[in-house]
Structure 1
Amino acid sequence: MTLIADPKAPRPPKAGPGRRTTRGNVELYGWVFMRVSGVLLLVLIFGHLFVNLVTGEGVKAIDFAFVAGKWASPFWQVWDLLMLWLAMIHGTNGVRTIINDYAEKDTTRLVLKSLVGLAFLVVVVLGTLVIFTFNPCPHGVAADLLPSFCTAG
């Protein structure tokens, strides 16, 4: 008779020099963060959708001027920034968990997590820059290149 190992049982850690046998509380904090950030993301996303689609004229009214007007308010800048950061951290942590579960080799795990971390960093930095440096009416630009709501000068 052959015994098959329980597929849900945790794998024993690989022993070796310099290897820790436990990850400490990092995984617990990650688990708690996923639940809390998921609830916050629901509030942020449905608030975003409500304001953009229900209170206005619907999706046809969302254009450059709508975004420019919305981002003129620090409240909406912070709202969108929180949504960006929480979504990226939440998604990156989820992908990190999947990599830990399915990547067998340490080198593969390191490469994949490094690529995910780099992608996270690029998106968060660029997104944050766009939110806080967005200027629909830059000075010194020809009037024919500016949106219709900008005054030349």
Structure 2
Amino acid sequence: MSTVNIETPRAPRGAGTRRGVNLEKWGWIYMRASGVVLVVLIFGHLFVNLVAGEGVKAIDFAFVAGKWADPFWVVWDTALLWLALIHGANGMRTIVNDYASNALLRTIFKGALLVSTVVLLILGTLVIYTFDPCPVGAPADLLPSFCEAGRP
């Protein structure tokens, strides 16, 4: 019968332990912190979009245009996009680490996850910051009714 020696949890690090930034620890902390902030952002988003106004029937192109005319809501929606997307990607990374036993497959999954997250963050941010409901030079019949008709 052999005995296994387990280090005391509070013992100093041995020579064989890894040094540097503990990414798993920071990922864990991010999930908790972003989760708390996301609860506030999501309930604020739902309240403004569904409760404070006329409900879901009032959400249309003009509603979004009016909302994104205010810099506060641009920042709010950007924070919601970034926190939610990175939170979800980090959760998926954890699932891939837990269930993908093949190292090559795990690398492919995590690479695809990273690429898709970066692409969606870039596209979503571009949509929020470049949104113009009344683009200059657009045909008048394609513009929403609230755009100035005489705009060049």
User: What band does the TM-score fall into relative to the shorter chain?
Assistant: 0.7 to 0.9
| 1:125-144 matches, cutoff 5 A | 125-144=122-141
Aligned mates of 1:136, 1:57 — CA distance in 2: 21
1:101 maps to which residue? 98
Distance 2:69 2:130 in 1: 11
- The 2-side partners of 1:35 and 1:22 are apart by 24
Unaligned runs of 5+ in 1: 1-19
Identical positions, percent:
65
In structure 1, how many angstroms separate the alpha carbons of the residues matched to 2:126 and 2:82?
12
Query: What displacement does 1:119 show?
Result: 0.8
Q: 2:113 aligns with which of 103, 109, 116?
A: 116
Question: Who is 2:64 aligned against?
Answer: 67
Q: In structure 2, how many angstroms separate the alpha carbons of the residues matched to 1:123 and 1:113?
A: 15
1:47 aligns with 2:44: yes
- Give the TM-score normalised by structure 2: 0.85
* Partner SS state of residue 133, structure 2: coil
Q: Distance in 1 between matches of 2:142 and 2:17?
A: 61
Which amino acid counterpart does residue 147 of structure 1 have in structure 2? Answer: P
Q: Distance in 2 between the 1:22 and 1:123 partners? A: 33
The runs of at least 4 aligned residues of structure 1 exceeding 2 Å deviation read: 20-24
In structure 2, how many angstroms separate the alpha carbons of the residues matched to 1:92 and 1:32?
14
Measure the CA separation in 2 of the matches of 1:32 and 1:142. Answer: 50
RMSD of equivalent CA atoms: 1.4
User: For each residue in 1:49-70, what CA deviation from the matched residue of structure 2 results, as whole angstroms up to 9, or x when unmatched?
Assistant: 0001111011000000000000
- Rounded to whole Å, the distance in 2 between the matches of 1:96 and 1:22 is 21
Deviations 1:17-70 (A, max 9, x none): xxx965851111111110010010000000000001111011000000000000
The size of the alignment, in residue pairs, is 134
CA apart distance, 1:141: 1.2
SS of structure 2 residue aligned to 1:51: helix
- In 2, the alpha carbon distance for the partners of 1:103 and 1:52 equals 39
Mapped to 1, the partners of 2:128 and 2:35 lie a distance apart of 22
Q: What SS is found at the alignment partner of 1:76?
A: helix
Report the TM-score, using the length of structure 1 for normalisation: 0.84
